[in-house]
Chains A and B, each alone.
Chain A
Amino acid sequence: MNTVTLTVKKQPELYLECENVNPDVFAGKKIEAIAKLGAYQGKAMDTLGDYFTITGESGATAADTKIVVNGDCTKMKYLGAKMTAGEMVVNSDCDMYTGSWMKGGKLTVNGNVHSFCGLAMAGGEFIINGNAGNYLVAAYRGDWRGMSGGVCRVKGNAGSDVASFMTGGTLIIDGDIDIHLGTHMEGGKIILKGNANRRVGGQLVKGEIFVFGKINVMMPGYKPVGEVELEADGTKAKFVDYIGDLGERHPKRKGETVYGHLYMKK
């Protein structure tokens, strides 16, 4: 695997839209060409070379390309967005849309990420060694297709509106979340190791949410039906099984209604 290293040399006055910073765009390009790739700041098109010192070399394909970003990226958006293969490591906090519309590959952020990250993630691995903002792995505005595949792991806390309209894949949050986790979920798995404030699994059609910590207020549409012993992210534990959301429609399979499950650790 070849590595391209970007080091921040200048901060944008506003915010930098780094839609071209991902293995798919870098693949097969020489460093000079990468430096000339565009990056919007507001309405003006600058180049990556204006803001980053770029060294190394890219692979022939995305899968052969690794990108390392050093320096302060707090005001950089879209890092790693739309990547389908390869690897990317960002050693900084990032702004919005980090890793959004990922289809494959591995993206690691050693820092916090802002909101709208991992939107509609379809595959690959997205590791956040920090906190995440709001709308993590949610669907884009208005779209009913949220995260559908891959694994996203947050070492810290996440905000609100996490995993809205999720249809597949796995989300693991080691810390806490605020409100609205898994709203309108239609599939997939969420594992929350910490606590949730409120509104977990609201309007959920199908899917599984494991909560190891506490929820301040349970949704009224969830009813306990028993206890189960399950394994979540490598940990075995006893959970109280709640089915729901009883206020929402649910699919049927062989005449039986298929509910979503909210597993609360005992």
Chain B
Amino acid sequence: MYGWASTSCQAMSIGHDIAEKVGGIVDNCATVCHGSSLIAIEDVGVPSCTLGEIKNRADRVIFWGCNPAHAHPRHMSRYSIFPRGFFTVKGHKGRKIYCVDCRYTDTAKCADEFIQVQQGFDYELLNAFRTAARGEALPDTVGGVPKEKIYELAEEFKSGRFGIIFFGMGLTHTMGRNHNIDIAINLTRDMNEFTKFSIMAMRGHWNVTGSGQVLGWQYGFPYAVDLSRRDQARHQTGETTSVDLLNRNEVEACFYIATDPGAHFPVDAMISSAKKPTVTVDPHINCTTEISDIHIPVAMVGVETGGCAYRMDNVPIETRKVVDPPEGMLTDEELLTKINKRVDELLAKGGA
């Protein structure tokens, strides 16, 4: 059962109950998005904060491998560059903004300094920043950035009162994946020896964080949760993650909800999915519904029905109903409750 990133936590809870009863696997969109970040956090933890802290305190803001100008359009005005907060009354004039990317993006246009890193060299460059922060020797350039610049930036970061690194697909999807975030987290940690520093993932799907939370408190893992054994939940990225399960033909049926893997998964995985009984639950016709055996439209969460969602900094926000759904349209919660009841009936009759 994959997806969950665009539905409410209440719906997820019911879905998990179904998955447990049928012995399935629950996975969410982090598996193709910030799953790498989650792996890194599983390995090394993360010093982070809520978005209000950035608004009120940050004076060194680093965008690394992300482009909020396109992907999070309100981010810079609400939190990271322009707002005047309690300790940041000068707004963007009191902040120094850096953008590290392999190409000059629209976010870079808003930055005070743009650092162009050679594609695939983020890990090396972050290693160089850590080395520079410790005052150790560096080669002449790292990832296309001259060592003088690296030393200069390391000092500037240390000189701030509160630094924050925002990162996105530029780190999660380039060579090394989770290692890039791992070392960025380590750099943030190192910086805490000199000043206050935090790091935050720019999460993309509006409730993928929520799915991670609900899976977390119910089973102890943020995604890729294997519930096929009655006695324990299991998790191993690379084994219980959706793309791997599909590529290796380790599952026999697919249930997609609040997502569109047809548009985002590697094509081999979708070919594998197309060969199995596939159900999609989604308000829209999309790439996935094209290869599904059943498509059940539902009400849009956050528009036609409410529910709890978690922001990228894990703060829970209530989504609200604004308009009525089309006549007869069920919400995810109602649909899953019906499915759950039917599963109970089948199990009572002696289904596997």
Taking the complex as a whole, does A directly touch B, i.e. does some CB pair lie under 8 Å apart? yes
Interchain CB contact (< 8 A) of A40 among B22, B43, B229 = B229
Interchain CB contact (< 8 A) of A42 among B39, B175, B228 = B228
* B238–A116 touching, CB < 8 Å: yes
Closest-CB distance, A240 to chain B (whole angstroms) = 14
Binds B, one of A48-56, A63-71, A167-175, A196-204: A196-204
In the complex, the chain A residue whose C-beta lies closest to that of B137 is A223
Q: How many residues of A contact B (CB 8 A)?
A: 33
A96 interfacial by beta-carbon distance below 8 Å: yes
The answer for the CA separation of A184 and B249 in the assembled complex, in Å, is 33
Interchain CB contact (< 8 A) of A180 among B22, B136, B138, B176 = B176
* A248–B130 touching, CB < 8 Å: yes
B123 interfacial by beta-carbon distance below 8 Å: yes
Interchain CB contact (< 8 A) of A43 among B133, B183, B228, B248 = B228
B95 interfacial by beta-carbon distance below 8 Å: no
Closest-CB distance, A181 to chain B (whole angstroms) = 11
Q: How many residues of B contact A (CB 8 A)?
A: 42
* B124–A217 touching, CB < 8 Å: yes
Binds B, one of A26-34, A101-109, A134-142, A227-235: A134-142
For A247, list chain B residues within 8 Å (CB).
127-131, 133-134, 136, 183, 186, 190
Interface residues of B in 8-55 (CB under 8 A from A): 22-24, 39, 42-43
Closest-CB distance, B84 to chain A (whole angstroms) = 36
* B127–A219 touching, CB < 8 Å: yes
For B352, list chain A residues within 8 Å (CB).
43-44
Closest-CB distance, A108 to chain B (whole angstroms) = 24
B326 interfacial by beta-carbon distance below 8 Å: no
B301 interfacial by beta-carbon distance below 8 Å: no
Interface flags, B128-153, vs A, CB<8A=1, else 0: 11110110111100100000000000
B345 interfacial by beta-carbon distance below 8 Å: no
Interface flags, A232-252, vs B, CB<8A=1, else 0: 000000000000011110000
In the complex, the chain A residue whose C-beta lies closest to that of B230 is A43
Closest-CB distance, A215 to chain B (whole angstroms) = 12
B77 interfacial by beta-carbon distance below 8 Å: no
Most buried by B among A142, A220, A223, A247: A220
Interchain CB contact (< 8 A) of B179 among A116, A202, A223 = A202
B311 interfacial by beta-carbon distance below 8 Å: no
Interface flags, A191-231, vs B, CB<8A=1, else 0: 00000001100110000000000000101110100000000
Given contacts A14-B250, A203-B182, A220-B138, contact A142 B130 (CB under 8 A): no
Closest-CB distance, B234 to chain A (whole angstroms) = 10
A183 interfacial by beta-carbon distance below 8 Å: yes
* B252–A246 touching, CB < 8 Å: no
For B142, list chain A residues within 8 Å (CB).
220
A115 interfacial by beta-carbon distance below 8 Å: yes
For A142, list chain B residues within 8 Å (CB).
42-43
* B127–A202 touching, CB < 8 Å: yes
Interchain CB contact (< 8 A) of A220 among B133, B139, B228, B239 = B139
Interface residues of B in 289-346 (CB under 8 A from A): none
Given contacts A14-B249, A217-B124, contact A96 B176 (CB under 8 A): no
For A135, list chain B residues within 8 Å (CB).
238
* B235–A40 touching, CB < 8 Å: no
Interface flags, A144-185, vs B, CB<8A=1, else 0: 100000000000000000000100000000000001100110
Most buried by B among A42, A134, A165: A42
Interface residues of B in 167-220 (CB under 8 A from A): 175-176, 179, 182-183, 186, 190
* A141–B39 touching, CB < 8 Å: yes
The answer for the CA separation of A221 and B248 in the assembled complex, in Å, is 38
For B248, list chain A residues within 8 Å (CB).
15
B237 interfacial by beta-carbon distance below 8 Å: yes
In the complex, the chain A residue whose C-beta lies closest to that of B22 is A43
The answer for the CA separation of A115 and B42 in the assembled complex, in Å, is 19
In the complex, the chain A residue whose C-beta lies closest to that of B123 is A199
Given contacts A14-B249, A202-B179, A247-B136, contact A141 B42 (CB under 8 A): yes
* A180–B134 touching, CB < 8 Å: no
The answer for the CA separation of A11 and B127 in the assembled complex, in Å, is 46
B159 interfacial by beta-carbon distance below 8 Å: no
Closest-CB distance, A201 to chain B (whole angstroms) = 10
Given contacts A141-B42, A142-B42, contact A246 B229 (CB under 8 A): no
* A246–B131 touching, CB < 8 Å: yes
* A246–B137 touching, CB < 8 Å: yes
For B138, list chain A residues within 8 Å (CB).
220
* A221–B127 touching, CB < 8 Å: yes
For A248, list chain B residues within 8 Å (CB).
130, 186
19 A-B residue contacts at CB 8 Å? A15-B248, A15-B250, A40-B229, A42-B228, A42-B250, A42-B252, A43-B24, A116-B239, A141-B39, A141-B235, A202-B123, A202-B183, A203-B127, A217-B124, A219-B127, A220-B127, A220-B139, A246-B136, A247-B186
Kindly list the 6 A-B residue pairs having the minimum CB-CB distance in the complex, ordered from nearest: A43-B23, A247-B130, A246-B136, A142-B42, A43-B228, A247-B131
Given A40-B228, A179-B175, A248-B186, 17 more pairs with CB closer than 8 A: A14-B252, A43-B229, A115-B239, A141-B235, A142-B42, A179-B176, A202-B123, A202-B127, A203-B186, A221-B130, A245-B127, A245-B131, A247-B128, A247-B133, A247-B134, A247-B183, A247-B186
